[in-house]
Copies of this chain bind each other. A is one copy, B any other.
Amino acid sequence: MPTQHTTVKRHPERGAYDRATIDSILDEALLCHLGFVTDGRPFVIPTIHARDGDTLYVHGSPGSRMLRTAKEGVDICVTVTLLDGLVLARSVYNHSMNYRSAVVLGRAREVTDRDEKLRAMQRVVEHVLPGRWDDARQPNDGEIKGTTILALPLDEASAKIRSGPPTDDDADLELPVWAGVIPLKIEPSDPIPAAGVGSSPPAYAARYRRLT
């Protein structure tokens, strides 16, 4: 259910509140922007996340300002945005972008239980690169302790989506101006091995494709 804070007010027809839509956007996005308040001022920092059922995990390090703040119990906002294309209308005013965004609001808790933290770390790695967790050297106790994970319930969340062609004013439709969409997508190129690596990249790296 949309709340006062998650209801999409500008372009309400673009709002979506069903969990399937919200989840699909969170799951596809490779990074999120985490907002928090310090001394009354807003800060927005990029970080990575992963969803596990009804929980959104956000990854970071204990030294980072954002997570120190959040651990003290401050509300946070996690926003992800997928850019799908540039929308060229006949008029400057009706230019737009196609995108899918999700906003999750709430008060995060720090994950302190070792098993939950390890599982959250696994979710983050598998979120970015499915298949990677089992191949890499697993975290030891010091590394688990040295990792900070916040958990945010997916209780207060919304999505906003624009897709499709430009919507020009009727009076502009006959103008001799090209109009349409330039689709955009994140594309990988060939993996670059680190020094000393003699093997071929595993399939999940050689043929990396983001969820669609």
Query: What residues of chain A have their CB less than 8 Å away from a CB belonging to chain B?
Result: 5, 9-10, 30-31, 33-38, 40-46, 48, 61, 63-65, 75-79, 81, 83, 86, 88-93, 95, 97, 99, 101, 103, 105, 121, 125, 128-129, 132-133, 135-139, 143, 146-147, 165-166, 168, 172-173, 175-197, 199-202, 205, 208
Q: Is the CB of A177 within 8 A of B44?
A: no
Chain A interface, >50% SS class: mixed
> So how many copies of this chain end up in the complex?
2
Query: A33 to chain B: which residues have CB within 8 Å?
Result: 33, 35, 44, 79, 81
Q: Is the CB of A92 within 8 A of B41?
A: no
Query: Given the complex of chains A and B, what is the CA–CA distance between A105 and B198 in angstroms?
Result: 45
**Chain B proximity of A108: nearest CB distance (Å):** 11
Query: Given the complex of chains A and B, what is the CA–CA distance between A48 and B162 in angstroms?
Result: 14
Q: Is the CB of A178 within 8 A of B165?
A: no
Query: A48 to chain B: which residues have CB within 8 Å?
Result: 97
